[in-house]
Structure 1
Amino acid sequence: MDMKELSSILQQNGIVGAGGAGFPTYAKLDERAETIILNCAECEPLLRLHRQLLEKYAKEIIDTFHMIGETVGAKEVIIGIKKAYTATIEAVKAVMGQYPEVRLGLLDEVYPAGDEVVLIYETTGKVVRPGGLPIESGVAVFNVETVYNVYRALNEKTPVEDKLVSVVAEVEHPITVRVPIGTPLEEVVALAGGVTTKDAVYFVGGPMMGNIGTGAQPVTKTTNAILVLPKDHHIIQKKLKKNSIDMKRAAACCCQCTMCTDLCPRHLLGHPIEPNKFMLAATCKDVQEPNIFINTLFCSSCGLCEMYSCFQGLSPRSLMAEYKGGLRANGIRPPKVEAKPVGPEREYRKVPMERLMARLDLTRYNREAPLDESAVPVKTVRILLSQHIGAPASAIVKAGDMVTKGQMIAEPGKGLSVGIHASVNGLVTEVNEKYIVIESQEGRAGNE
């Protein structure tokens, strides 16, 4: 298959990065990619769905990834996976032997092993330019579920109409389920047997980089996990803090211990990001060195500085995110700089996942969440038109239309964009610039 044909298939079938970023996958197909990496680092604590999926569908995923490699002309195909995922590694080894260009890139159980820049360095030794794209280093990274969606599009003619989601923490039975896109989060949580705490809060995504959600919020193509946590949990309280108060706290008690910088994954790879200097300059309103603020654009927002490193409980990541937003709103982009050489100290400053979970008070929730791909009935889905980086899709249905599961209901917008598809059979009840609501036939039958 040539690149143009594959690119069209991926765009029309709505395939985007399922790891959380949502970058349209067709745009990653590039003949400059000498190396492609399958990301099975399962970066965040408690998440399991990617290793589960790769173990169950190792042949389908690796065959498809090999095909992607052939299409872009890659010389090397790497499966980036943590050494601790022994069952998944065995499943991969049983398949990869027939492809000489495929090899394992074994990773330590540390955070954030799944960050693209960190993953590339660990598996290839290459340092991505600060602010640059992996393709500049001849590398393209793909998520496990993303590649499985490519397999389904090519072999089952199935677009992205559902999503795997892990439901963990304060639930009766932690589980990983496949649900229709647009399913309300509260219905997904119910599949785990319900909540086991009062004042439950839904935290969507991983505990380090996720956000507080609501029960009515719909599942999207990038929803990987729902952590059900008590309202007084450290992670929830951290998210509820106001940046204005955090700035005053930083001014009062940041002691410039430099721990936030010493453990920063991007700083350790030579990128010019130094959270401690930012904290000092921001709290003192010292603009004599503007690069301290501009360099916040190199932050990956992994959250280590404020969730693990800072003994004072300050929030460098959140404060830098606010500054980054202001810089971008004013048209300021990262300057072109070269990374400094990676120092030997990096090996001794990696953060073990076990210690991170203990610091986050998540160890008690580290239980199995078995994969269950049984069909999930839903009454109504609300499908967002913007579930990916780039231009939103444009609706091509109207209220009153009957649609079938897998039917395109929104075509790719102008520029970087992908199609959106119905996740259930049913009646379109609402269409606006942000979403499409479909009442499933099952729901209608129940009402009648």
Structure 2
Amino acid sequence: MIDSNEIIEQVRNAGVVGAGGAGFPAHIKLNNKCDVVIANFAECEPLLFTNQALVMAKVDEVLEGLQLAMKATGAKMGIIALKKKYSDCKRVLSDKLKDYDNMEIFELGDFYPAGDEHVIVREVLGRKIPMAGIPLDVGAVVHNVETLYNIKKAYSDKLPVTEKFVTVGGAVKYPLVLNVPVGMKFSELLDLAGGPTAKDFILIDGGPMMGKEVGLDDVVTKTTSALLVVPINTLPYSSRRIKIDVQLKRARTACCQCRICTDLCPRYLLGHKLEPHKIMRAISFGLMDAESLINSLLCSECGLCEVTCPMGLSPRNINASLKKMLFEKKVRFNKTLVETERPEREIRKFSAKKLLVRLGLSDYYRHIDYTDKKIKAKEVKLLLKQHAGSPAIPVVKVGDKVNKNDVVAKIQEGQLGANIHASIDGTVVKIDETSIVVKSE
């Protein structure tokens, strides 16, 4: 008999967090009751093949992880939500589902951002998560498929999260999906892909829409879904070159109030009070106490407004700046029920193919399969904060010998966070406020 408390404890000990996005600790989600667990297999960001490669290579582990998540939460149903175009993955999953009870597949359309939790719950269950709410508010828990894989490894194999499946793509010689040690330098990943094929480029940790710009010396974390080489003359490149003060000046002078940002906003179409064009107008007139500014807290920062703005503005970045300011002032948006969604929502879903073209990345789209190759790192830098919540506290000191899977930093007592484990055998050579460096012998 599988004990739900044991699942939660093992997942906590293993440091499992959401494998994409903010890295919310998985044991917190599992320590709640719901009626359905959704496996988020949308992978809606362009150029990413991480989840697809994982499911093709490790389908049983993913389904076992879903089974464990259902057991921990008391869910009666598990639903794998994947895009209809992932036909090979659907075939592999369908062949295996006969061995599992109370699981089914739901096919999503090929639109962006299908993987947003509010969107995926609406698509799969027809339920409307409250504004500023979470899936649990409507009886659901959502886990990325790689998170489910890690839940299985934590409970069944007693293995912590020390490796990460990563797409290395964009303008590289040999795009690939690898399973690499957490803490490995991005420069080493780039070398494994044959290096960049563009002279002028930026590196993005994650997808081209919501990923963050990084450097060659930055490292893989538990939430790194991809390392993309994005060349000049693409929208993800140019948008990340414009500083926020310049964006604010442009907003004040160039916004023509055309409403495109609002009319295509996924959260607005769900019935939320977020109207980006009104936020841009408030900024233009210096109305810093306007109600519309508070509504910026509802923004998921998907970036669709940035892609579609005819004036080349970025309501997304304006919203992100406002959210930061409001959080610092401890301003919160109170959870509010969604009354009705917009009737035009279905016809305004934004095509993933169109998105790829708008981003200027069509030339770099090619299917990538998993490369089953043992990757070794001579040195890893383990960040103490790879998750939502507080940084982990080191439990080792410089000079200590560690083995792969050993705990090197623990959750602070009573705090939201995740344990950190050594991803290679070696010696601790450096500890500072943000990281632990381990060098192999």
Q: CA RMSD in A?
A: 1.3
Task: Give the drift of 1:325.
Answer: 0.5
Decide which moves more: 66-75 or 113-122: 66-75
Give unpaired runs (5+ residues) of structure 1.
442-448
> Are the structure 2 counterparts of residues 356 and 232 from structure 1 closer, same or farther at C-alpha, using a change threshold of 3 Å?
closer
Question: Within the alignment, does 1:336 sit opposite 2:341 as a pair?
Answer: no
| Secondary structure, counterpart of 1:297 in structure 2 | helix
Q: Which residue of 2 aligns with 1:74?
A: 75
Question: Within the alignment, does 1:218 sit opposite 2:219 as a pair?
Answer: yes
Q: Which residue of 1 aligns with 2:249?
A: 248
Decide which moves more: 213-222 or 252-261: 252-261
Q: C-alpha separation between the residues in 2 aligned to 1:173 and 1:141?
A: 33
| Secondary structure, counterpart of 2:221 in structure 1 | coil
Q: C-alpha separation between the residues in 2 aligned to 1:15 and 1:373?
A: 22
Question: Within the alignment, does 1:433 sit opposite 2:433 as a pair?
Answer: yes
Task: Give the drift of 1:233.
Answer: 3.2
Q: Which residue of 1 aligns with 2:280?
A: 279
| Secondary structure, counterpart of 1:140 in structure 2 | strand
Output one character per residue of 1:52-83: Cα deviation in whole Å (capped at 9) or x when no partner.
21122222211231232123211221100000
Output one character per residue of 1:307-326: Cα deviation in whole Å (capped at 9) or x when no partner.
x2211110100011111100
Q: Which residue of 2 aligns with 1:383?
A: 382
Decide which moves more: 231-240 or 261-270: 231-240
Whichever residue aligns with residue 386 of structure 2, its letter is: Q
Whichever residue aligns with residue 236 of structure 1, its letter is: Y
Q: Which residue of 1 aligns with 2:28?
A: 27
Decide which moves more: 234-243 or 260-269: 234-243
Q: C-alpha separation between the residues in 2 aligned to 1:19 and 1:245?
A: 30
> Are the structure 2 counterparts of residues 203 and 31 from structure 1 closer, same or farther at C-alpha, using a change threshold of 3 Å?
closer
Q: C-alpha separation between the residues in 1 aligned to 2:335 and 2:155?
A: 39
Contact 2:262 2:276 (8 Å CA) reproduced: yes
When normalised by structure 2's length, the TM-score is 0.97
Q: Which residue of 1 aligns with 2:402?
A: 403
Q: Which residue of 1 aligns with 2:418?
A: 418
Q: Which residue of 2 aligns with 1:189?
A: 190
Decide which moves more: 95-104 or 200-209: 95-104
Q: Which residue of 2 aligns with 1:302?
A: 302
| Secondary structure, counterpart of 1:336 in structure 2 | coil
Q: Which residue of 2 aligns with 1:446?
A: none
Q: Which residue of 1 aligns with 2:312?
A: 313
- TM alignment of 1:104-119, pairs within 5 A: 104-119=105-120
Task: Give the drift of 1:19.
Answer: 1.8
Whichever residue aligns with residue 44 of structure 1, its letter is: E
When normalised by structure 1's length, the TM-score is 0.95
Q: C-alpha separation between the residues in 2 aligned to 1:188 and 1:138?
A: 40
Provide runs of 4+ in structure 1 moved above 3 Å. none
Task: Give the drift of 1:31.
Answer: 4.2
Equivalences, count = 439
Give unpaired runs (5+ residues) of structure 2.
none
Contact 2:184 2:220 (8 Å CA) reproduced: yes
Q: Which residue of 1 aligns with 2:362?
A: 363
Q: Which residue of 1 aligns with 2:13?
A: 12
Decide which moves more: 420-429 or 28-37: 28-37
Question: Within the alignment, does 1:372 sit opposite 2:371 as a pair?
Answer: yes
Q: C-alpha separation between the residues in 1 aligned to 2:155 and 2:359?
A: 41
Output one character per residue of 1:220-259: Cα deviation in whole Å (capped at 9) or x when no partner.
0001111112244331121110122222222222111101
Contact 1:269 1:340 (8 Å CA) reproduced: no
Task: Give the drift of 1:418.
Answer: 1.6
Contact 2:209 2:303 (8 Å CA) reproduced: yes
Q: C-alpha separation between the residues in 1 aligned to 2:62 and 2:336?
A: 37
Whichever residue aligns with residue 302 of structure 2, its letter is: C
Q: C-alpha separation between the residues in 1 aligned to 2:159 and 2:346?
A: 43
| Secondary structure, counterpart of 2:433 in structure 1 | coil
Q: Which residue of 1 aligns with 2:150?
A: 149
Contact 1:212 1:236 (8 Å CA) reproduced: no
